Amino acid sequence: MYSPTQQFLIYSGLFFAALVFSLLINSVFMRFARTLGMRDEEQTLIRWSSTAKPSLGGITFYILFLACFSLYGLLFPGQSAEALRPDLLGLLGATSLGFLMGLADDAYNTRPLLKLLVQLSCGGILIATGSCIDLFEANWLNRLLTLFWVVGMMNSINMLDNMDGITTSVSIAVLIAGAMSILVIGPSDPVYMVLIVGTMASLTGFLFFNWNPSRMFMGDTGSQFLGVLLAFVGIRFFWNAPSIEGRWEVGRQLMSALIVFLLPIVDTTVVTINRLLKGRSPFVGGRDHTTHHLSYAGYSDGQVALVFIGLSLVHVFLTFVMCRYIRVWTNLYTMLFSGYALALFLTLFILTKRTHPPAKS
């Protein structure tokens, strides 16, 4: 077994190797592939960017994710059987299914009903292989909540991918929070850390091409893959995480998952409410997300991304405090963290009511 210093060096080496690979393969994609994910003009895809760009980032995510699965046995000899656990095989199957559905959507613009069925299947795979939220005594309620969580997260991450650098930055922050939870609560599981570190590196390399003005999108290929992966991270390290003292506390579990994923949850909720109030389907795209309204308020695209990065770092810090320093959870903490979440929701909701797209000339 490696010492903590040796593990740190292994994870650092993995991160920088995966980062270089991500930069390299995305550069190759930019040079040789410029059509995947570029829809025809008559198709009803609404993007913030007015320029068609290749949606190839998700392919890099998936390649590096598979590479990390393969490299785990080399980085930690004698523990290769860990990667064959049912929960990890379920994660591999669910992310692969999400990736393939996203790839098909980027290429052929699949029907919403088919996407929903695939998303439910991803949730079913995770449940069948042991990755199920454990919050209620009734198992059927836990399974129903898990399906809702997986489908909701896949759609939230997809909907948040509406402006340069937003989803990439928020996803990196969620993975940082997941790694922090592993290190703080323990015991550290190397296979999870390898997957998280590798995915963070691939996202960081992609961010170089996705920062405004972006040269590449992640597309549904990336957002659907990330949706499944982040949903799994939420289940394993927040919904089902005990306190540092080893206690299971429903309030802590609920609040930690809410705070870590607050930005995609708030954006999706605000957009859904506004569209329903206007008699529109929440599943039809539009330039009415919270990110867009920050732009209408006068922020540049880069500044909007920085706002979301800042909020994401605040949420990582709050999660760290929640995991490391709150020994016994009380209703007071539930009220404080719920109050913060509600304040952020109301702030962004009011913003969407006070700002409007510039009038067309």
In a domain, 285, yes or no: yes
pLDDT tens digits in sequence order for the chain, 361 residues long: 677 787 788 888 888 888 888 888 878 777 665 544 444 444 444 555 545 566 677 888 999 999 988 887 777 776 666 667 889 999 999 999 999 999 888 877 778 888 999 999 999 999 999 999 998 889 999 999 999 999 999 999 999 988 888 999 999 999 999 999 998 887 667 889 999 999 999 999 999 988 888 788 888 899 999 999 999 999 999 999 888 877 888 999 999 999 999 999 999 999 999 999 888 888 777 888 999 999 999 889 899 999 999 999 999 999 999 988 998 999 999 999 999 999 999 999 999 999 888 776 4
Give the CA distances from residue 172 to residues 30, 33, 230, 233, in Å, rounded to whole numbers and listed in that order: 22, 26, 10, 12
In a domain, 360, yes or no: no
Q: Residue 131 belongs to what domain range?
A: 4-29+52-354
In a domain, 67, yes or no: yes
In a domain, 345, yes or no: yes
Return the exposure string of 230-255: e unless at least 16 CB atoms fall within 10 Å of the residue's CB, then b.
Answer: bbbbbbbbbbbbebeeeeebebbbbb
Q: What is the dihedral of CA 71, 72, 78, 84, to 10 degrees?
A: -110
In a domain, 35, yes or no: no
In a domain, 103, yes or no: yes
CA distance 158 to 123: 16
In a domain, 34, yes or no: no
In a domain, 210, yes or no: yes
Provide long-range contacts, Cβ within 8 A and 24+ apart, for 75-82: 75/10, 75/14, 75/190, 75/194, 76/2, 76/10, 76/190, 76/191, 76/194, 79/190, 79/191, 82/189, 82/190, 82/191
pTM greater than 0.85 (yes/no) = yes
CA distance 92 to 73: 16
Q: How many domains does the chain have?
A: 1
Instruction: Give the tokens for residue 113.
Output: 């009903």
